[in-house]
Every structure is written in C-alpha cells, then in structure tokens.
Amino acid sequence: MEHDLRKSNMRYCIPRLRTQAPVCAGTILLVTACAPRALAPPATTSQEALAVGDGEREQRFVDSVLAGMTLEEKAGQLNQVSGLGEPTGPGGTPAGLEQIRSGAVGSFLNIVGADTVTRLQRIAVEQSRTHIPLLFGLDVIHGFRTIFPVPLAEASSWDPAAVQRSARIAATEAAAQGINWTFAPMVDIARDPRWGRIVEGSGEDTYLGAVMAAARVRGFQGSDLRDPATIAATAKHFAAYGAAEGGRDYNIADIPERTLRDVYLPPFHAAVCAGAQTLMAAFNEIDGVPAHANRHLLTDVLRGEWHFGGAVVSDWTGIGELINHGVGGDSASVARLALEAGVDIDMVSEIYRKQLPSLVRAGSIPQQTLDEAARRVLRLKYRLGLFQKPYRVGDAARVRAVTLSAEHRAAAREVARESIVLLKNDGNILPLSKELRTLAVIGSLAADSDAANGNWQALGRGEDAVSVLTGIRRAVSPGTRIVYAPGASPVDGDTTKIAAAVRVARDADAVVLVLGESPSQSAEAASRASIELPGAQLRLAEAIVATRKPVVVVLMNGRPLALQWLHDNVPAILETWFLGVEQGTATADVLFGDYNPGGRLTASFPRVTGQVPMYYNHVRTGRPASPDNKYTSKYLDAPWTPLYPFGHGLSYTSFRYGTPRLSGTTMRPGDSITVEVDVTNAGKVAGDEVVQLYLHDEVGSVTRPVLELRGFRRVRLTPGETRRIAFRIDVNDLAFHDATLARVAEPGSFTVFLGGSSVDTQQLRFRFETTDGHSIRVPGRCDAAR
C-alpha cells in the first residue's frame, strides 16, 4: 500500500544502541523520541547508529525512510539527471530546482564544485518533503584534476598497488569538490583493439583484469565509505560490453554463457568482492537480451549467485534504448522491463520518474519491486554517511590543498613511468644521451599537452600537463639544442609539413618521433576499422627514417596499434600511451635513462588489423597453426602470431631466470602446490622485472585455453641481485565452467609456464588427482588479487 504523508511532517528514526529510545535523523538536537524533522542539516545523527556494516541497523533505518515516501518520491530516488558537463549521448535535460524540492531527483551527474553541490544538497535536505540527500556522480576514470595514465596504461604497470593509489588520489580530489560517486572502474575485457573503449580497461586478460578491478575499487572507496575523502565505485559495463562484434561500439556481444562466465564476468565478481557499491548495465545485448533487460545477469547472477547488495545504474539513456533494441514498444514497457530485470537507477532518460508510479498503481509492476530499487539507492546514501553529513565537501583551503598538489603530481609521475613499455631497442639505442648536440623532436602529438591527458579527463586541463616536447627540453643538458617540427597529425592526411620535418631531422644527431592517436580516436564512440597509424603519420615516419638518422619512436595512443612497418624499420619504439599530467616528464625519464622501463603489455599488438581479434589465451583448434602444413589455422598473407605478445616489455638491463621448482608433482582437492624461481638482474643498471605465471590444462571436457595467467609479481632488482619468487597454485586456479556451466576442476595433467612474457617461459608439469577420478565443484571465491 502506498504511504501518503503529504499532509504530515516526514520523519525517519534510527534505534540507538543500549536504549529503547530512537534518535531522529536530521533534528537539531538529539532527543529521546521521534520529533518532526527540522529544516536543518542532519548533523547530529548518532555516529554509532550509522555504523557501516551493521546490516540490521542499516535496514531498519532505510525501511523507516521508505515507509514514509510516496510512489512519486520513490521513483524520484531512481531518477538521475545530468547537470553541467559533456554528455555522452543524446538526451539528458538538466533538472530544475523545483524537481529537487519535489523529490523528483535522486542523483545528479556532471555537477561539480563544492559551492554548487552544497547549494543543491541544501535544497534537497532542507526544502524537500522527504529531506533525503542527493548523490553526485562523475566519470572520474583516471584522475580528477591530477590526471593519471589512462587505465590501459596503468594496467601495463602490472602494479596493483600503484593503480589503487592513483584511484585513491582521484577520489580525494573529487570528494573535496562534492563528488561522492564515480562511474568507474571499467572492467570490461577487450580482445578487439578496434573497440575504442579498450583504453578504459585493463586489456585482454581476465585474471589481470580482476586484480586491477579490485585495486581500483579499493582505491576509490578506501576503508570507510563515510570518510569524506572516499567515493562510491561503479564496476561497468555489466556485462561483455568489450565483446562488441566487429569492435564496433554499442554493437551486440555474441558469446556463449560459458565464455561469459570464464572470461568476461570474473573482473565484475572481483569488483563486487572488493566492495563495489554499484554496477552499471551495458549497452550491448547477449544472446538476444539487452543488458538493461537481462534479469538473468542483473538478478540471478549478480544478486542471487554473488549476493550483491548494491545498486545497478543504467548507462546513458540505456533504458530508453531498449525501444531501439526492439524488446519494448514504448517508455512504459521498457521501464517495466528494466526495473524487473534489476536496473535501479535511470540515467538521464527520466523514464522511471514518468512511468513507474502509474505502472505500480495500475498493477503492472508490484510496489515491492519499486520499493526494493528505492531501498538500494537509500542504502547507498546511508553507507556514504549522507544522511548524517550531507555536505561532504571540502572548504576552500582543503580544495586547494588536495587539488593537483605536488604530492599528487609526484605520484602521477611515478605511475606514468611504471606504465611505459619498451617495445623494441635494437642496438641499445636507448637510453639517449642528454649531451647530444642537436635533438629533433617531430610529430604534432609531441607538443600537445592536452593529448597527454587522454580521454575522460574529468577536470583535467591541458595547461596542467607536461608535453613530451616540454619534458625533453627540461631533461637535456643546457648545451643541447632541441628543434621541433609537427610533421603530421593523426587526425588528417595533410602532408605539407613533412618536408620541413625532414629538414629538421637532417640537421639533428638523433630524432624522437612522436606518433600515435589523438585522444578523440579512442574511448567511447571511437571505434576504428583500421588500427594502423592514422593520418599521414606513416608517410612522415617513412620520410624521417629515410634521413638515416637514429630514430626513436614514442607512441601516444589508447589502443594496440598495427606497427609492422615501424617495427621493421625503426630501431627503438617506446609505448607511452596517454600518461596524464606527467606525460612529458615520465617519457623523458625513460628516454634519457633516469628511469628504467618495466611496463608490460596487457593487450597483444597485431601485425595488421586483419588479425584481430587477437589474444594470447585463445583455445586450441583441431588444426593448430603450423608453417609446414597449409591446412592449419593461419593466414596466407600475414603471420598468425602477434607483433608484440601479451606480457611483452623490454628493459635497459637483462634478467636471468634460474630453473623453476615445484613443491610437488601431484595436487589433490584442498592442497596447493608452490612454484619457485630465482630471478637475477644480470645487467649493469637497476630495473623491474614482471615475473608471470601461466597454466595450461592439457586435457579437458571442453576445449581449454593454450595459456591462462594465474599470477604475477613486479620486482625491482639492483645489478647482480637475485630474488626468489614464489607462487601458490590451488584448485581455484584450475577451475573453469564445464559444458553444464558448473564451475569445476577436472583431474589431469597441467603445464606451468613461468617467465617474463607469455612467449618467453620455462615449463613444469604436475597432476591434479581426485579420489574417484571425477571433477569436483569449485565455488567462486573473493581473492582474485594475491
């Protein structure tokens, strides 16, 4: 039955500990009985009573709020509107203040600034009938004002602690400006680099993606959601958005459920295990069912199997787009489909606000379904402490102290350096000397500080970022002359500036050639049919190489590129991605040897676009590729292997692996096996090695991948230093979903691969044995990151 309290004062109460007298949230003074709410900030609610993690008190409080709400107010809690900011799709009208006063808005996105947030929050808390605080969300993807490397770059650090630290800093800056919710991390596995949003995730591997997903959630949310320096995280896009057919954004994902569960879902499960408060539904469909209407995913799997208690938010107009999908004919039908599937919050389409009350009154949707969605939104606000402290913003002094601070820039520089991958270094041309007479820096991206920040810049500014050109100028000796020419741009085919660039190169001792993509050429709605160098950049590279000067290519890009010509003709290639505010500083650190690169690829680089999708952990075929047999799985006009494989990355030093050892050759349920290897820095400079552990199930009831990452360690070694690296393998590392979709481990032989990339390994074998020789069930567990 609808609770209509329009003629009474709204109130909600929290039972106090060790007393029977309740405390009213939002009263001016603590009292021993419930009194009408005053129009004042709810700053006196018992801290103890609002303890996060106490499910019973949380539930009682949320239910007390819900009990006094009208249908319109409940639907309003599910309504998210866009204020200031750049939209990512059609639709989305900023809300008027009267909507806030009437309880028709539950959350905003794209509104930033302590003063603005406080003003709107004050209207909700002090002038609306329910006095329920607002949520303020923003796409804080890889930094807020201090911009860190794009997520694909950060993943290339193989350093989850660094990734967590960057998310923590981003949360601190965003929270000071009134943001309490981010639509990150994106945890989609991406095997096709034509898809532009590969830049927002961690690449092609499930295990690494799960580790990074958990790290980012912990970074954004910290250890206590009530801490005003934390923000709620959103794992997106649920699910399989990265499997867009043809790499074309918003396209369908045509994948079987076993692949969904083994490849695409584990990073989401890891995010849920790490405490992610919200998930975002995906734009795509799976097996004919759009994600925004997929009850199997959003309710059966997410809430049933994983026991997720948080909220699900739609993507931008995702509910309304169910009409375009063809599964609903009008707004009322898609509102019912999405709500009953498990989508709690309607981002900008306002379909829930307009349709749900009448649908409930007509009996088309049970009120319990609407109540449960509103309950999840209220629960999130409770956990963030907004009912107690709705004005979670920093004062002017705090905003200045935490925004783009020297400490934050130093952290951004460190993560940026760790994210750089040395793809090629023939003849040890790198590092360059700082004492060169003349160094040419060529390429329009070299001077583009705005490009350094990449896409999804939040409040990042180009003037905050150090361009590659500026970073080089700051790093070289005073006597070195730096000459610059733009040469060519990634966004057009203009060749008129190439001749001038060639003249500059001829007068130099060496050339740093900066090539790649504009940030607009990756991320959302930025799929590319060809992932070769865009614009006239290949023409520029050919002309510069023809000068016969030593050339180092620095790449700035948001996806793997097809670089066969560069690989064949340029001695050194440095993958820097979009590194954020310290792009130029970090790049110069590596170019001149102040930092030894240790990043490794998390996505395979193809030789030509026609090879994609390409990923290292593919399953076996009946005719595996062989150069000696035409009738095997390969191409006539290109190799079947990647140009640069998953896990690849070079160093200015060399590492020597000892003989790996297993603690046993047989493992049984409940047991584990340890694999150890000694790694030595055999070179003359300190450096980081990423030790990688892979497994292969030799015989399965269904086809199994040729390799699967199951562990990694990034270790820094001084010259001559040896470190023993150990990994523990247990039954969870052997598990997969069989033909019945049961998660099992099957008895048989397993190969262990240990080394510095997916193609540079040593091998060991062990057997997994069960009592009766049959497979065993393996429930999922919440410890993806070891």
- Distance CA(510)–CA(521), nearest Å, equals 29
Chain center to CA of 407: 23
Catalytic residue among 205, 315, 589, 697: 315
Give the H or E element holding residue 135: strand 135-138
Q: How far apart are the first and last CA of the chain?
A: 49
- Distance CA(162)–CA(141), nearest Å, equals 15
**Is residue 175 left, alpha or beta, with left meaning phi > 0 and alpha meaning psi from -120 to 50?**
alpha
Within 156-265, residue ranges assigned H as helices are 160-176, 206-221, 257-259
Tell me the two tokens of residue 449.
């500080």
What SS3 class is residue 505? helix
- Distance CA(454)–CA(383), nearest Å, equals 33
Give the pLDDT confidence score for residue 645 in this predicted structure.
Answer: 98
Tell me the two tokens of residue 696.
């292969």
In one letter, which amino acid is 639? Answer: P
Longest dimension (CA), the chain: 86
Walk along the chain (786 residues) in steps of 10 and give the mean pLDDT of each run: 32 32 28 28 33 77 97 98 60 76 96 95 97 98 98 98 98 98 98 98 98 98 97 98 98 97 98 98 97 98 97 98 98 98 98 98 98 98 97 91 98 98 98 98 98 97 98 98 98 97 98 98 97 98 98 98 98 98 98 98 98 97 96 96 98 98 97 98 98 98 98 98 98 98 98 98 98 95 58
User: Is 330 considered catalytic here?
Assistant: no
Give the H or E element holding residue 754: strand 748-757
Give the pLDDT confidence score for residue 54 in this predicted structure.
Answer: 75
* Residues 756 and 691 sit within 8 Å (Cβ to Cβ): yes
Give the H or E element holding residue 554: strand 551-556
In one letter, which amino acid is 189? Answer: I
Per-residue DSSP letter, 593 = T
- Distance CA(2)–CA(67), nearest Å, equals 9
Nearby residues of 613 by Cβ (< 8 Å), 6 or more positions away: 191, 192, 247
Tell me the two tokens of residue 497.
């500036």
- Distance CA(98)–CA(105), nearest Å, equals 10
Chain center to CA of 508: 41
Nearby residues of 549 by Cβ (< 8 Å), 6 or more positions away: 440, 505, 506, 508, 509, 510, 511
* Residues 166 and 409 sit within 8 Å (Cβ to Cβ): no
Q: Which residue has the tokens 């203040």?
A: 97
Dump strand ranges (E) for 96-229.
107-109, 135-138, 181-182
- From residue 429, alpha-carbon distances to 262, 432, 511, 684, 699 in Å are 42, 7, 11, 16, 45
Tell me the two tokens of residue 359.
């649908």
In one letter, which amino acid is 580? Answer: G
Q: What is the CA radius of gyration of the chain?
A: 27
What SS3 class is residue 104? coil
